[in-house]
C-alpha cells in the first residue's frame, strides 16, 4: 500500500494557535534520541532563524520575522533503523513512548521543507547521513550517506521556510519562546534525566539556558493531587509559573508526559482573570498538568486532542466522557487555587474608629481573606 504524502500532510492538523507544535515535535525527537544513546545526560541546542535584515538594530532584531528553527542534539543519530522508521508512514517504531508515527508530518504543515544532517555509529565507524524532507513525491530528496570526518554522534534538524499563516502567530521574542518550550516540556524539566537545553537567538547574540529558565523564572512550588472519575485515575500537577512571558492560567491535558491540549481557566474559576499573588506578594500564573492512562490510550495520532466522547448523549452505554473529566479537573483546580482567589474584604466601618480588624486564619497559605471582624 502506497502513502500519498501530500494527502497525509493535508490531513495532519496543526492549529494556527499552536505555531510552535512542529518545533516541540523536533525537540521531542531529540530527547528520545538522547535517551536511546544511553551515554549520559546529553545536550539539545535550539536556534531561532530570522530573516536576514542587516539594517536592524539589536532591539529591532528581537522582533524580526522568524523563518525557521534548528534543533541539534547529541543523541543516537539517524541510524539505518531510525531512517527506515522515518520513511514509514504511521510507523509503530516509537509506540511504547506514545509516538503515533505522524509527528514529522506536522513539520511540513507549517514549514516548506526540513533539512536533516546526522552523524551516527555503525560497525565501529561513523557515518554522515544527509537528506531533505519535502512535501512531494516520497518526501525524501538529496539523500546521501558518507564516511564522517568526526566520531561524535549528532543530529541537526532545520525547519525551514515558516509558512506565513503560522509565522504571524509565532511569538517573536526569544524569552517568550523559551518560556513556552519550558512550559510544554515541564514534566521533563521536573524529572532527573532532562537533557541540557539551550535556546540561541543569533540575531541578538542571546543564549538562554532553559534549565535555568525553569529553575529561576518558571517554577517555585508544585504539588500533586490524584482524583478519580468513574474509577479512572487521574494525576494533576499544580504549578506556579513565575514567568514574565506567560499570562494565561491553563489546564494542560497530557499524554505520555507531553502536553496535547490546553484549556484556559480564566472565566471558569472565580477571580483568576489576572495574575495571582503568593504569600510573599510575588505574582504568578497557574498551570495544571493532567495525566492518566486513559489520556495516553486515547490521544489522537496528530496529538492535537483525544478520542474521548464529549458527553453521555453520544454513547449508548455509560463510560467516562470528556465533560466528566473536564468538570472533575476544574473542580480540583478550584480547590488548589482557593487560597489565592478569594476576594480581599472591604475594611469594616469600625476600623475608621481606630480599632484593628481581626483576620480569620485558614491554611497558612492564604494571603486574601473572605471576611474580617473588628477586635474589641
CATH number for the domain spanning 106: value is 3.30.565.10
Whether residues 296 and 350 fall in one domain: no
Question: Which tens digit of pLDDT belongs to each residue from 271-326?
Answer: 787 889 988 888 899 999 999 999 999 998 778 899 999 886 655 556 789 999 99
Query: Residue 261's domain spans which residues?
Result: 214-341
In a domain, 164, yes or no: yes
Whether residues 317 and 356 fall in one domain: no
In a domain, 190, yes or no: no
Q: Helix 174-184 vs helix 21-37: angle between axes, to the nearest 10 degrees? A: 60
Whether residues 135 and 229 fall in one domain: no
What is residue 142's predicted lDDT score, i.e. its pLDDT? 96
DSSP reduced 3-state for 2: coil
Question: Which tens digit of pLDDT belongs to each residue from 186-210?
Answer: 878 877 778 999 999 999 999 999 9
In a domain, 206, yes or no: no
At 372, the pLDDT band (50, 70, 90 cuts) reads: very low
Q: From residue 89, how far is each of 39, 249, 253 by CA, in Å? A: 29, 36, 26
**Where is the domain boundary, 139, 172, 205?**
172
Cell reading at 372: 474580617
Whether residues 224 and 304 fall in one domain: yes
Statement: residue 106 has pLDDT above 50: yes
**Where is the domain boundary, 114, 138, 172?**
172
Whether residues 33 and 144 fall in one domain: yes
pTM reported for the whole predicted model = 0.73
In a domain, 238, yes or no: yes
Whether residues 272 and 360 fall in one domain: no
**Where is the domain boundary, 172, 203, 229?**
172
CA 59, 61, 62, 65 torsion: positive or negative? positive
Question: Which tens digit of pLDDT belongs to each residue from 320-350?
Answer: 899 999 999 999 999 999 988 865 444 454 5
Question: How crowded is the C-beta side of 207, counted as CA atoms within 13 Å?
Answer: 5
In a domain, 201, yes or no: no
Q: Annotate 16-52 with b (16+ C-beta within 10 A) or e (fewer).
A: eebbbbbbbbbbbbbbbbbeebeeeebbbbbbbbbee
Whether residues 219 and 157 fall in one domain: no
Average pLDDT over the chain, rounded to an integer: 84
In a domain, 363, yes or no: yes
In a domain, 237, yes or no: yes
Whether residues 10 and 70 fall in one domain: yes
Question: What is the rounded CA–CA span in Å between residue 198 and residue 232?
Answer: 38
Whether residues 23 and 128 fall in one domain: yes
What is residue 259's predicted lDDT score, i.e. its pLDDT? 86
Whether residues 34 and 163 fall in one domain: yes
Whether residues 242 and 319 fall in one domain: yes
In a domain, 92, yes or no: yes
Question: What is the rounded CA–CA span in Å between residue 112 and residue 133?
Answer: 9
Lowest mean pLDDT segment, chosen from 88-92, 241-245, 329-333: 88-92
Give the chain's domain count: 3
Whether residues 5 and 94 fall in one domain: yes
Range list of β-strands (E), 95-217: 111-122, 125-133, 140-147, 154-162, 196-201, 206-209
Query: What does the pLDDT average to over 145-155?
Result: 95
Lowest mean pLDDT segment, chosen from 243-252, 299-308, 360-369: 360-369
At 223, the pLDDT band (50, 70, 90 cuts) reads: confident
Amino acid at each position: 500500500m502506497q502513502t500519498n504524502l501530500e494527502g497525509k500532510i493535508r490531513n495532519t492538523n496543526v492549529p494556527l494557535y499552536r505555531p510552535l507544535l512542529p518545533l516541540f515535535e523536533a525537540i521531542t525527537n531529540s530527547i528520545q534520541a538522547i535517551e536511546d544513546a544511553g551515554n549520559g545526560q546529553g545536550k539539545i541546542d535550539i536556534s531561532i532563524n530570522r530573516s536576514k535584515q542587516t539594517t536592524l538594530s539589536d532591539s529591532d532584531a528581537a522582533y524580526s520575522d522568524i523563518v525557521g528553527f534548528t534543533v541539534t542534539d547529541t543523541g543516537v543519530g539517524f541510524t539505518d533503523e531510525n531512517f527506515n522508521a522515518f520513511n514509514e508512514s504511521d510507523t509503530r517504531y516509537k509506540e511504547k513512548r506514545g509516538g503515533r508515527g505522524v509527528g514529522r508530518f506536522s513539520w511540513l504543515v507549517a514549514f516548506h521543507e526540513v533539512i536533516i544532517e546526522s552523524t551516527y555509529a555503525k560497525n565501529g565507524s561513523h557515518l554522515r547521513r544527509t537528506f531533505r524532507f519535502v512535501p512531494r513525491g516520497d518526501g525524501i530528496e538529496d539523500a546521501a550517506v558518507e564516511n564522517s570526518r568526526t566520531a561524535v554522534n549528532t543530529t541537526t534538524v532545520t525547519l525551514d521556510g515558516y509558512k506565513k499563516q503560522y509565522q504571524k502567530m509565532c511569538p517573536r521574542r526569544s524569552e517568550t519562546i523559551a518560556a513556552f518550550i519550558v512550559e510544554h516540556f515541564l514534566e521533563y524539566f521536573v524529572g532527573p534525566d532532562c537533557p541540557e537545553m539551550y535556546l540561541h537567538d543569533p540575531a541578538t547574540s542571546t543564549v538562554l539556558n532553559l534549565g535555568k529558565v525553569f529553575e529561576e523564572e518558571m517554577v517555585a512550588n508544585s504539588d500533586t493531587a490524584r482524583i478519580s472519575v468513574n474509577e479512572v485515575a487521574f494525576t494533576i500537577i499544580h504549578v506556579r509559573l513565575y514567568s514574565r512571558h506567560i499570562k494565561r492560567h491553563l489546564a494542560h491535558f497530557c499524554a505520555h508526559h507531553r502536553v496535547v491540549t490546553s484549556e484556559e481557566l480564566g472565566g471558569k474559576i472565580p477571580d483568576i482573570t489576572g495574575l495571582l499573588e503568593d504569600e510573599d506578594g510575588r505574582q504568578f500564573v497557574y498551570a495544571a498538568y493532567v495525566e492518566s492512562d486513559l489520556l495516553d490510550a486515547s490521544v489522537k495520532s496528530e496529538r492535537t486532542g483525544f478520542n474521548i466522547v464529549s458527553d453521555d448523549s453520544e454513547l449508548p452505554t455509560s463510560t467516562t466522557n470528556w465533560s466528566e473529566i473536564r468538570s472533575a479537573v476544574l473542580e480540583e483546580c478550584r480547590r488548589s487555587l482557593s487560597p489565592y482567589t478569594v476576594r480581599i474584604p472591604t475594611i469594616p466601618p469600625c476600623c475608621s474608629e481606630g480599632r484593628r480588624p481581626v483576620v480569620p486564619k485558614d491554611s497558612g497559605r492564604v494571603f486574601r481573606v473572605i471576611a474580617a471582624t473588628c477586635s474589641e
